[in-house]
Amino acid sequence: MPAQLRPHAAVDGAGICVMLIAIPTEEKACRSPGRLAVRVNIMDQHHHHFEVGGAHLSRLEDLRLIKGEGCYSADWNLPNQVHAAFLRADRAHAKIVSISTAAARKAKGVLGVFTGEDAVKAGYVKPLSFLTFAGKDGKKANISERPALTADRVRFVGDLVAMVVAETALQAQDALELIEVEYQDLPVVVSPRAAVAPGAPLLHDNVPGNLAFEQEAGDAAAVDAAFAKAAHVTKLRLDVTRVAPNPMEPRACAVAFDAGSGKFTIHSPVQGINMMRMQLAAYTGVADDRIDVVARDVGGGFGQRSIGYPEYVALMLAAKSLGRPVKWVSSRSEGFMSDSHGRANYIDGELALDRDGTFLGMRIDWIADLGAYLHPAGPVSPMRNPVTCLNGVYKTQALFGRWRVVLTNTAPVSAYRGAARPEIAFAIERLVDEAAAQMNIDPAEIRRRNFIPTDAFPYKTPTGSVYDIADFHGVLDKAMKLADVAGFPKRRAESEKRGMIRGLGFSTVIENSGAGMFPKDEARLEVHADGTVTAYSVSHSQGQGHETTFAQIIGDGLGISAERVKLRQGIGEQGLIGNHTGGSRTIVGAGTVCHIAAKKLVEVATPMAAEQLGCEPSQVAYAHGEFKSTASNKKITLGELAAKKPLTVTGEGKFGSTFPNGCHVAEIEIDPQTGVTEVLSYVTVDDCGTVINHTIVEGQMHGAVAQGWGQIFTENVVYDPDTGQLLTGSFMDYAMPKAGWIKDIQIAEHTTFGTISPLGVKGMGESGCTASLAALTNAVMNALRPMGVPPPDMPLTAHKLWQAISAAKKGK
Amino acid sequence: MYAFQYHKAKSLNEAGDILGKDEEARPLSGGMTLIPTLKQRLAQPTQLVDIAGLAELAGVENKNGVLTIGAATRHADVAASKVVQQAIPALACLAAGIGDPQVRNRGTLGGSVANNDPAADYPSAVLALNAKVITNRREIAADDYFQGMFTTALEPGELIVRIAFPLPKAAAYCKFPHPASGYAMAGVFIADTAQGVRVAVTGAGASGVFRWAEAEKALAKGISAAAIEKLTLAADDCNEDIHGTREYRAQLVKVMATRAAAALSGKKLHGQDHIEG
């Protein structure tokens, strides 16, 4: 009985109610996984043995947040502030013939109305792009301007046409309706495959064929040779649909401008203040030391909150022009339209195998739909991350891929939890599974035959990555055992008796983490007289629990309890260099420099303590927040030392790539009468290196697997193909995964210690997405394949599976 | 949201007066449809007349073979009511499955029936149970009350006061919820009433809630899953959108009806436990 679908009550007497509906379960959504955690000892002696690591420590920030004491972007209210509202395009593609703002300007409370003309005049016209490298044939990307308010033409439903600023938000919203826009409609293109076809409507004058960039990677000749000698070739279409990330916190932004110093202060959701400042500075041409980004709590990011959006830039324009702070809070409807979307990668893949199922080569043709404009990192991640792990966990030597970055009349797309790591893992693992089925080879066995062996690390891949360390065989074996794969045929037969179709599928995946775009990561520690420590970081938590993990790392390094360490993030005046939170890299970068800073603090404080204790530094021993003279037994605590002299250090480090990996096993059952898939069990075995806090790792896994579940079964952003209207613009039509839909996730670890960080950490924020897309799809295909059902497109909605099953039944 | 006047009605008469005089005024009960509509600026009423607290619209009573529920009774209260649970448990269960806890704690029976959303749960119960909709002006039989999507027999200024459900011999409701909204993609309410077996379908009809005549006929001789399994609902009678074709909705109606009938006949179907997330 799935917890979420239990009949609500079956009452004897006059009536019987068979309520078969989704009801949030009272049962714990997930089995307590700690008992299953087993660590293997592929232990590198050089690694720091994390003393408090592995704790099931509850998050230090939770009480504060649960009590409503968080400070999110909409909670910032600035003295004398006024409010903005945005007029957005109600159509997907049109020329703006004229805009009449006269009536709006006269409306009650209105202080200003801004249009594209103002944005152009201010020079707030071109977002930063990280797509600076050369592509195929040495060609650079065609990147268009995007004035903070669009100047001449709207290119997607939700595009910014005008901004009204008024004394109240309601006045601003009322005045929006008084703006008259005359449009001249243009033809619309929504599908990225249609957008690159000859004769497609063009979005930007400087982007011929809607193709902003093209890149190739790998060895085309070697792949051709591999396919020529292959005994078997598996081909699949592997589209990974467009989703709306939907963080719980809506976007909001408050901007103040100080005419005296020429400085902007900006409060918005961030994944790191440096990343936000860099983008807003580039967009506006304002020097980055004139932009102070200040953020506290962030209610979910998933990549979507790392962007310096045009709305923020438009608010800068208004704040400067009006001389008053300007605030805007997005509605959820605006969010669906204009927050960056995720995935939207359209992939064709081919795998060449020899007679024994050895992978000879793989070829990928990848279209990344970036929507109407390029977000700064949007076009980079669908190329960079897949190329980094193009061979997956396998020895495949011949690899080739072609990537096309394509523009369509849809909302701009950017990184979403995993940032194309899930897509390449999905492509590889679907190909591997289909090939195994076509060749009648056991899916675990075909993987074992092709795994990079455990003794081959560090392993240089054909695309130039160096996988530091992993044990794919160990990960797979443990997952198979936990999921009781051996007992599956019996369970399948039992389902069949009940008229249900059961399937089991898995994925064995790897992803890159660690390397960042800033020159280094820094963390600063400041000791107070009461012995507590404040830690400063620019890697911002959007819910990951940095206040806990960083405190644990620092507490461990200093031998004091984590509760004595308070993290402050998003404090611009600390001037720290460092990466934002993203790419599963925070623990590797920001986390490791917390450890380095703690060690450095003891080093720096030791001579200071020696002076106070009247001995030589060599005679000072440090433990648990206390320095002791081995000569006199005299002691001084960190706090006492800090009371005498400021005690502050900055730890820094630069880190390359490390490679979290894992195996997920999903077991599902499909009701052929309705097409509904129920996930009966879900097993994860992950190697994320050293675990600092199991509770947080488990929470990350639950969330990421749920996001994978959503993507595979219900989530899908749908635009009308003819008009470009957004058809899934609210939670009435866009189905997020709900609590209780996944009843059981068993989480286990299989640790090899990463070699990039002295902590042995690898990162794990995204691995649940990376592994779950393929594991869930493979399980569904394992169920349906015997009926002759061809692989359906994502998402595998009940409706679609019912149609596929019905068609297969009719065909027989 | 546009500006409007808020008026908390002191009596049903007062509410009726205001609404009768001002065509642009709207009654506010739980507000679970009205408030989102206002927030999206899709409606611009002059005033909202809050009737949620009126004593005349409250109360649940089981008397002389009729269960009467006040129009302002919230879904959560219907679900939790011992009186409802004993009289018509299927109705209590239906209420417990509407929307989500927030909606159930605000939305009301009268609000839902007055709105007549084609995918709402309550209309199927009102129709299948052959209930009477009692307004501030008259009594309306369920068969006369529902007149297509979002359309009812209610006249301007007319307010539902309570709904009277004659107790059935047995009743069951089976629903396939939309994964996003929780509304019915197909919901089938089967009631064995003094006037015979009545089968009402919500969520799937091309013009809102409807009685499935063939199913009623098939079940007249005895309620069983087998009787439904032989039927086919014409797909043309069903609605279609991005979430499901007509054919799929017709299939869901049949499956939900089969499962409701199986529950009523005390026979558990294979796979019955695995319905519809």
pLDDT of residue B267: 62
Closest Cα in chain B, distance from residue A130 (Å) = 36
Q: Do A19 and B260 touch (CB under 8 A)?
A: no
pLDDT at A13 > cutoff 80: no
Centre a 10 Å sphere on the Cβ of residue A782 and count the other Cβ atoms it contains: 23
At the fourth CATH level, which superfamily is domain B170-264? CO dehydrogenase flavoprotein, C-terminal domain (3.30.390.50)
According to the model, what pLDDT value does residue B270 have? 41
Q: Residue A91's CB: how many other CB atoms inside 10 A?
A: 18
- Confidence bin at A570 (pLDDT 50/70/90): confident
The pLDDT, as a whole number, for residue A15 is: 34
| Secondary structure element (H or E) that encloses residue A599, with its range | helix A592-613
Chain B touched by A739 (CB under 8 Å) = no
A268 pLDDT higher than 50: yes
Lowest mean pLDDT among A5-9, A520-524, B50-54: A5-9
Which pLDDT score is estimated for B268?
53
Q: How confident is the model at residue A574 (pLDDT cuts 50, 70, 90)?
A: confident
Tell me: the pLDDT tens digits for A716-735?
Answer: 999 999 999 999 999 999 99
For A411, residues 6+ apart whose C-beta sits below 8 A from its C-beta are A156, A157, A158, A337, A338, A339, A340, A341, A371, A372, A717, A726
Interface of A with B in 317-356 (CB under 8 A): 331, 333
Nearest to A195 by CA among A349, A343, A409: A409
B132, two tokens: 């009477």
Give the whole-angstrom CA distance, residue A399 versus residue A229. 15
| CB pairs A-B closer than 8 Å | 163
Average pLDDT for residues A233-254, to the nearest whole number? 97
Beta carbons of B75 and B102 less than 8 angstroms apart: no
| A269 within 8 A of A311, measured Cβ to Cβ | no
Distance from CA of B12 to the nearest CA of A (A): 32
pTM: 0.93
pLDDT band at A22 (very low <50, low <70, confident <90, very high): very low
H or E segment and range at residue A343:
strand A342-353
Q: Is residue A569 within 8 Å of A537, Cβ to Cβ?
A: yes
A452-468 pLDDT tens trace: 999 999 999 999 999 99
Contact A17, B173 (CB under 8 A): yes
Q: State the pLDDT confidence band at A20, using cuts at 50, 70 and 90.
A: very low
Q: What is the C-alpha separation between A714 and A776, in angstroms, rounded?
A: 13
Residues in B touching A798 (Cβ below 8 Å): 179, 276-277
Q: Which of A12, A17, A331 to mutate against chain B (most B CBs within 10 Å)?
A: A17
**B2: nearest CA partner in chain A:** A174
Q: What is the pLDDT of residue A33?
A: 31
Q: What is the mean pLDDT of chain A?
A: 92
What single DSSP character describes residue A487?
Answer: G
CB A332 within 8 A of CB A74: no
Percentage of chain A with pLDDT > 70? Answer: 93
- Kindly report which listed range (A264-268, A361-365, A655-659, A742-746) carries the lowest average pLDDT score: A742-746
Residue with tokens 């302002």: B72
Q: H or E element: which one contains A417?
A: none
Contacts of A741 in chain B (CB under 8 A): 277
pLDDT of residue A741: 84
Q: Identify the residue whose tokens are 């081909």.
A: A235
Mind telling me how many Å the CA of B147 is from chain A's nearest CA? 24
Q: Could you give the 3-state DSSP secondary structure of residue A227?
A: helix
Long-range contacts of B151-157 (CB under 8 A, 24+ apart): B151/B116, B151/B208, B152/B113, B152/B114, B152/B116, B154/B114, B156/B19, B156/B20, B156/B23, B157/B16, B157/B17, B157/B19, B157/B20, B157/B21
Q: What is the mean pLDDT of residues A35-48?
A: 35
CA-nearest residue to B265 within chain A is A16
Lowest-confidence segment of A320-329, B95-104, B265-274 by average pLDDT: B265-274
Angstrom distance (rounded) from CA A669 to CA A678: 5
- Average pLDDT for A459-481: 98
Whether the CB-CB separation of A70 and A319 falls below 8 Å is answered with: no
- Residue B143 to chain A, least CA–CA distance (Å): 21
Mean pLDDT value of segment B167-191: 96
What single DSSP character describes residue A44?
-
Provide the 8-state DSSP code for A739.
Answer: T
State which CATH number among 3.40.50.720, 3.40.50.80, 3.30.43.10, 2.70.98.10 fits the domain covering B1-49: 3.30.43.10
Q: What gap in Å lies between CA A726 and CA A409, rounded to an integer?
A: 11
- Residue A714, token pair as written in the block: 């219900």
The Cα–Cα gap between A105 and A100 comes to 10
Query: Residue B55: is it exposed, middle or buried by C-beta count within 10 angstroms (0-12/13-18/19+)?
Result: exposed
Work out the minimum CA distance from B137 to partner chain A, whole angstroms: 31
Q: A719 in the Ramachandran plot: left (φ > 0), alpha (ψ -120 to 50) or beta?
A: beta
Q: Is B276's CB within 8 Å of A14's CB?
A: no
Closest residue by Cα to residue A49 from A758, A769, A802:
A758
Omega before residue A795 within 30° of 0, cis: yes
Say how far apart CA A326 and CA A296 lie, in whole Å: 19
Domains in chain B: boundaries: 1-49, 170-264
Kindly list the residues from chain B whose CB atom is less than 8 angstroms away from the CB atom of residue A13.
86, 89
Mean of pLDDT over chain B: 94
Please tell me if residue A171 touches chain B, with a CB cutoff of 8 Å. no
Q: How far is A301 from chain B (nearest CA, A)?
A: 22
The 10s digit of each residue's pLDDT in B193-211 is: 999 999 999 999 999 999 9
> Over the stretch B57-104, which tens digit does the pLDDT of each residue have?
999 999 999 999 999 999 999 999 999 999 999 999 999 999 999 999
Please name the residues between 15 and 34 in chain A that touch chain B, using a CB distance below 8 Å: 15-24
Domains of chain A are 30-48+468-511+657-812 (3.30.365.10), 246-309+317-325 (3.30.365.10), 515-653 (3.30.365.10)
* Mean pLDDT in residue range A59-65: 93
For the CA atoms of B137, B141, B142, B147, the dihedral, rounded to the nearest 10 degrees, stands at -70
**Structure tokens of B109?**
């029976």
Q: Percent of chain A having pLDDT more than 90?
A: 90
pLDDT surpassing 70 at residue B182? yes
Which of A25-39, A402-416, A559-573, A738-752 has the least mean pLDDT? Answer: A25-39
Sequence-ordered strand ranges (E) for chain B: 5-8, 26-28, 47-50, 60-63, 66-70, 132-135, 139-141, 160-166, 170-177, 184-193, 196-202, 210-211
Pick the residue of A16, A25, A90, A500 with the most B CBs within 10 A to test the interface with B by mutation.
A16
| DSSP code, position A488 | H
Structure tokens at A220: 């085309």
Q: What pLDDT is attached to residue A39? A: 33
The Cα B150–Cα A232 span in angstroms is 58
Give chain A positions within 8 Å (CB) of B76.
none
Q: Note the pLDDT of residue A532.
A: 97
Lowest mean pLDDT among A194-198, A468-472, A669-673, B237-241: B237-241
Residue in B94, B178, B275 closest to A5 by CB: B275
Strands A94-100 and A180-185: antiparallel
C-beta atoms of B172 and A17 within 8 A: yes
Please state the rounded mean pLDDT for residues B219-233. 95
Asked if residue A519 has pLDDT above 80, the reply is yes
Q: What is the pLDDT of residue A645?
A: 93
Q: Is there a contact between B242 and A13 if contact means CB atoms under 8 Å apart?
A: no
Q: What is the ipTM of this complex?
A: 0.94
What is the predicted pLDDT for the residue at A9?
Answer: 33
pLDDT of residue A812: 66
